[in-house]
Amino acid sequence: REALEVYTLENFPQQWAVTQSNLGAALMRHGERSNGEVSVRLLTKAIIACREALKVRTREQSPQQWTMTQNNLAKAFYLLGDWRNAAAGYANVLMLYPQYEEGYQRLSSIYHEHLFEPAKAFDLHSKWLTLFPDQVFVLADFVEVHFTTGRFNEFEERIKTVLDHPELPSKTKIALRMIEIANLLALNKTER
């Protein structure tokens, strides 16, 4: 924080942005390890510092630094349970780094479990599977998203392949079998 007295936005904008970003990352990590009001206060300060850094670290001028700051911002929002802002941050990161697995996993979780936006989860899984077509957990999630988006016929086509995958854990198979039953009911195939 004392460095920000020397590295001002007006006189040293790049150093100021680096310092703000580093401060945001440190506050975020400290907030992650804290509890209750202390955690909320630290994470809120981390968000403020990251947003300050983004005044200089723009996507156009500093794409790598912008992405790193967006990632820290997304993590802080995620830890606070601010799902909309966390989703926006991770979506920004994935625009420039589409192979970033943690960002993909968190954004998928946010869309599916917190924002209840299965169509966005479907699009995200589709993009991810074009990059990594053999990831069994992604395949399983993608099949589930077929069901939650009302793609019942496609679900029925895809489920067999996923259930036969040798790396799929038993508890995931059981969960998918339950969804398969619901899918059959949705297709009015009660005899099966």
Given a cut of 90, whether residue 15 has pLDDT beyond it is no
Provide the phi-psi class of 81: left if phi over 0, else alpha when psi is between -120 and 50, else beta: left
pLDDT tens figures, 28-40: 999 999 999 999 9
The contacts of residue 151 (CB under 8 Å, 6+ apart) are 122
pLDDT tens figures, 116-141: 998 999 999 999 999 988 888 888 98
Q: What angle do CA 9, 12, 17 make, to 5 degrees?
A: 60
Q: pTM of the prediction?
A: 0.83
Given a cut of 70, whether residue 90 has pLDDT beyond it is yes
* Whole-number Å distance between alpha carbons of 36 and 169: 35
Residue 22, classified by CB atoms within 10 Å of its CB into exposed (0-12), middle (13-18) or buried (19+), is middle
User: Among all chains, which residue has been given the structure tokens 């968000």?
Assistant: 47
* Whole-number Å distance between alpha carbons of 14 and 79: 28
Question: Are the C-beta atoms of residues 98 and 127 closer than 8 Å to each other?
Answer: yes
Higher pLDDT, 12 or 62: 62
